[in-house]
């Protein structure tokens, strides 16, 4: 890999992206098209390239509509969104990177092929809204938003769906997916992420003395209010209602108190919900962040779609502290974007600029790129894929710290939950848990390592350039690929050296981002360890217990594993070491098939239709054997794909290993072997239920004893990584009816 730094740019990019086949994102190096194709606007050049490369990129029958144009000093990124019969295809997108000379360099695609679903709905919008409200199970105060779209399927024509948005402008806002032909709820996902003015330059901890600083980009008005950016920003104060159910109201009455200036002091009571200082501080720091993204990264925030309403001193029903801050892409009172800053019990989130610059990061990426698939993004090939949401959390941490020049995020407001981006202890996959804020710490830390290694402005360009190529289905390794492509652009522009790129490779390798795709190769020399969240945590955010969810919803390993036999191999043994955390019994399954990853149900979230499977394993060790006696028998010419199902209540640490396969090169891993000796028989707990003639067993073993977008102040626990978990409800109406029946039977 290192030789790529000393060869021609196109050859280097080809080598950089040569290992991207295990990701939902397809990376293609553009063939040199000569100078003729480089003339015109970047969007026209990009469109012409995609048209010319239709067969090469397998885009026959795929419709792509222009979406975004993202200029940078060393390159240009043009983004397209996939459509079908004029309707958006959920998650379908393409990004094309152009060099400084206008030459197409790299295409990053996440495209659903074979979409043929009838675009004419069988139910109307009113019926779709009714189904969504039944699933929600509570009254709403704003009319739902609704639109038609197409949901891709792994092996199907796609599903025509209504997207019904409810609880808009609240911390609990969500989007229901309603099948427009079958008239049923598929699932839902959250859409909230979590003159002069006297201000704290950063926050009251790192800069405890207020200063009177210029309120740049303040719009002149009569009466003067905290409006700015040529009509694209309004700052107001909370006045009533709930930020949790969409009834929140706000008023904008604050004017200057010293001539034309807003020189308000911090309140004597830090829990004040009416202090003017919070509003002025909010305006100042949001404007700082806007100027950074516009001036340093070339982001155009002038269109009206960027209008943002910011509310300070938010409470819950005008009586309770609101221990959170969030960005809403559903907006507020006609404004397309909302940033809400809570008045918490021991801190005002509006005084810590880390907090709302983090939320501002979500606002920027949503409007400029829109790659964040959220906590529960679902990809037709791999099932739940929260990785793009984790990347967005990590880079929002990073940009807040980069703008403020401080490696610690939230020291003034988060207490023990503050995040130190210089902590490099976590790596993929061992320390991933499937929760976007926790896993985002890996991305934030990697980005800060680049910030420490290179010039800060160069690191900012690296990170921004990387995410501009991503999509809903992107993995952590896709983020690494984006960094490498952008690094090569910056090397060509003279801002990085070949040695710098080698150093970046080492940073990525040390944190596991060189090998953190949806599919991970596994072998006898390379077990894989990850953490599974369990149904207790999954259900807690939607008001259900593990008991309520079991039988309706399950989980699956967020990584799919593959093993490549050699001709002399006679069998495949998949071994799983499943250690629950905090007590409780395991209940998991092993699913295997050849040729492609095991399918995941987009309703139950369970693995489905695997060729070989072993279910209901209730011991800490389980194994599935595929040999000559299996149906079909073991075939060493095939590649085998493995996924683990999880119906356990507690969270677990899981290690998957095999008796065959050899991963080259073998890299140092902190994973411990989760296997054990092969062979038949054995004693122990329940071994599960097998099918298709494969052998399965289990061995007894003892379990371990022992929001803000989740800036959330709460009690600490042994599994605090799950504190900010946002979850989905699937077929909630049916589940609620079943829950009532179960409670009666108890």
- Taking only the tens place, the pLDDT of each residue in 679-703 is 333 333 344 545 555 555 554 433 3
CB crowding 90-122: b at 16 or more within 10 Å, else e:
bbbbbbbbbbeebbbbbbbbbbbeebebeeebe
pLDDT value of residue 718: 27
Number of Cβ within 10 Å of residue 712's Cβ equals 18
Residue ranges of the chain assigned to CATH 3.10.170.10: 193-368
For the chain, percent helix, then strand, then coil, each to nearest 5?
Answer: 25, 25, 45
Rounded Cα distance, 622 and 645, in Å: 12
Q: Where are the beta strands (DSSP E) in 385-444?
A: 408-409, 419-420
CATH 3.10.170.10 fits 193-368, yes or no: yes
Q: Where are the beta strands (DSSP E) in 181-283?
A: 184-190, 192-193, 196-199, 211-214, 227-228, 233-240, 249-251
Q: Kindly tell me if the per-residue pLDDT of 674 is higher than 80.
A: no
Percent of the chain residues past pLDDT 70, beyond the cut: 82
Query: 693: exposed, middle or buried (C-beta count within 10 Å: 0-12, 13-18, 19+)?
Result: middle
Pick from 618, 593, 591, 584: nearest CA to 686: 618
Token code pair at residue 700 = 């007894």
pLDDT value of residue 139: 83
* Backbone torsion region of residue 583, taken as left when φ is above 0, otherwise alpha when ψ lies between -120 and 50, otherwise beta: left
Q: In terms of pTM, does the model score above 0.95?
A: no
pLDDT value of residue 65: 96
Q: What is the pLDDT of residues 173-202, one digit of tens each?
A: 788 999 999 999 998 877 765 555 545 666
Q: Kindly tell me if the per-residue pLDDT of 746 is higher than 70.
A: no
Rounded Cα distance, 550 and 649, in Å: 9
Task: State the average pLDDT for the chain.
Answer: 84
Rounded Cα distance, 225 and 110, in Å: 44
Q: What is the pLDDT of residues 60-82, one digit of tens each?
A: 999 999 999 999 988 999 999 99
Question: Do 150 and 158 touch, CB atoms closer than 8 A?
Answer: yes
Residue ranges of the chain assigned to CATH 2.60.120.380: 520-699
Question: Do 685 and 618 touch, CB atoms closer than 8 A?
Answer: yes
Number of Cβ within 10 Å of residue 146's Cβ equals 19
Class of domain 520-699: mainly beta
Query: 642: exposed, middle or buried (C-beta count within 10 Å: 0-12, 13-18, 19+)?
Result: buried
| Beta carbons within 8 Å of 705's beta carbon, 6+ residues apart | 583
Give the SS3 label for residue 450. Answer: helix
């Amino acid at each position: 890999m290192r030789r790529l730094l000393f060869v021609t740019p196109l050859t280097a990019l080809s080598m950089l992206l040569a290992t991207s086949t295990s990701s939902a994102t397809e990376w293609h190096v553009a063939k040199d098209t000569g100078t003729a194709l480089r003339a015109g606007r970047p969007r026209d050049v990009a469109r012409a390239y995609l048209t010319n490369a239709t067969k090469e990129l397998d885009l026959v029958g795929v419709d792509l509509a222009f979406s975004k144009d993202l200029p940078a000093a060393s390159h240009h990124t043009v983004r397209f969104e996939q459509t079908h019969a004029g309707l958006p295809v959920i998650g379908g997108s393409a990004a094309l990177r152009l060099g400084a000379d206008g030459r197409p360099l790299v295409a990053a695609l996440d495209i659903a092929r074979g979409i043929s679903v009838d675009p004419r709905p069988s139910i109307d919008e009113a019926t779709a809204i009714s189904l969504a409200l039944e699933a929600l199970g509570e009254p709403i105060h704003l009319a739902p938003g609704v639109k038609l779209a197409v949901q891709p399927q792994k092996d199907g024509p796609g599903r025509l769906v209504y997207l019904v948005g409810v609880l808009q402008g609240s911390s609990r806002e969500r989007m229901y997916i309603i099948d427009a032909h079958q008239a049923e709820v598929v699932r839902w996902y959250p859409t909230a992420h979590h003159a002069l003015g006297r201000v704290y330059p950063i926050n009251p901890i790192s800069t405890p003395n207020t200063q009177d600083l210029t309120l740049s980009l303040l719009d002149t008005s009569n009466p003067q209010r905290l409006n700015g950016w040529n009509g694209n920003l309004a700052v107001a104060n909370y006045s009533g209602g709930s930020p949790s159910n969409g009834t929140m109201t706000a008023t904008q009455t604050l004017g200057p108190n010293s001539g034309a200036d807003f020189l308000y002091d911090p309140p004597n009571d830090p829990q004040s919900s009416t202090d003017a200082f919070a509003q002025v501080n909010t305006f100042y720091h949001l404007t700082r962040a806007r100027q950074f993204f516009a001036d340093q990264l070339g982001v155009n925030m002038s269109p009206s779609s960027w209008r943002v309403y910011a509310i300070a001193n938010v409470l819950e029903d005008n009586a309770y502290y609101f221990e959170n801050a969030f960005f809403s892409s559903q907006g507020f009172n006609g404004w397309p974007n909302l940033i809400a800053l809570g008045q918490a019990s021991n801190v005002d989130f509006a005084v810590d600029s880390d907090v709302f610059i983090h939320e501002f990061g979500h606002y920027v990426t949503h409007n400029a790129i829109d790659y964040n698939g959220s906590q529960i993004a679902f990809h037709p090939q791999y099932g739940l894929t929260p990785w793009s949401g984790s990347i967005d959390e990590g880079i929002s941490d990073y940009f807040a710290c980069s703008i403020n020049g401080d490696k610690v995020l939230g020291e003034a407001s988060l207490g023990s939950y503050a995040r130190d981006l210089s902590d490099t202890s976590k790596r993929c996959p061992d320390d991933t848990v499937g929760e976007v804020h926790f896993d985002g710490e890996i991305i934030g830390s990697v980005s800060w390592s680049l910030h420490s290694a290179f010039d800060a402005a160069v690191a900012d360009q690296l990170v921004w350039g990387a995410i501009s190529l991503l999509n809903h289905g992107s993995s952590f390794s896709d983020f690494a690929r984006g960094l490498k492509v952008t690094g090569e652009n910056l090397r060509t522009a003279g801002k990085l050296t070949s040695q710098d790129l080698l150093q970046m490779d080492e940073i990525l390798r040390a944190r596991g981002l060189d090998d953190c795709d949806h599919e991970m190769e596994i072998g006898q020399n390379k077990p894989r360890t990850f953490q599974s969240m369990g149904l207790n945590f999954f259900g807690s955010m939607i008001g259900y217990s593990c008991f309520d969810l079991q039988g309706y919803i399950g989980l699956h390993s967020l990584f799919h594993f593959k093993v490549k036999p050699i001709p002399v191999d006679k069998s495949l043994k998949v071994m799983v070491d499943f250690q629950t955390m905090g007590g409780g019994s395991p209940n998991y399954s092993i699913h295997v098939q050849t040729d492609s990853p095991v399918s995941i149900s987009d309703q139950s979230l369970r693995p489905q239709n695997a060729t070989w499977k072993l279910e209901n394993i209730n011991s800490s060790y389980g194994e599935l054997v595929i040999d000559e006696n299996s149906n079909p028998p073991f075939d060493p010419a095939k590649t085998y794909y493995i996924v683990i199902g999880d119906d356990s209540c507690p969270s677990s640490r899981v290690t998957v290993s095999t008796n065959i396969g050899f991963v080259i090169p073998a890299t140092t891993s902190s994973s411990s072997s989760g296997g054990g000796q092969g062979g038949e028989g054995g004693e122990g707990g329940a071994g599960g239920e097998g099918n298709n003639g494969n052998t399965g067993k289990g061995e007894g073993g003892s379990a371990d004893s022992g929001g803000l977008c989740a800036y959330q102040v709460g009690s600490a626990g042994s599994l605090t990584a799950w504190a900010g978990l946002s979850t989905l409800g699937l077929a909630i109406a049916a589940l609620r009816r079943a829950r009532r029946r179960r409670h009666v039977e108890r």
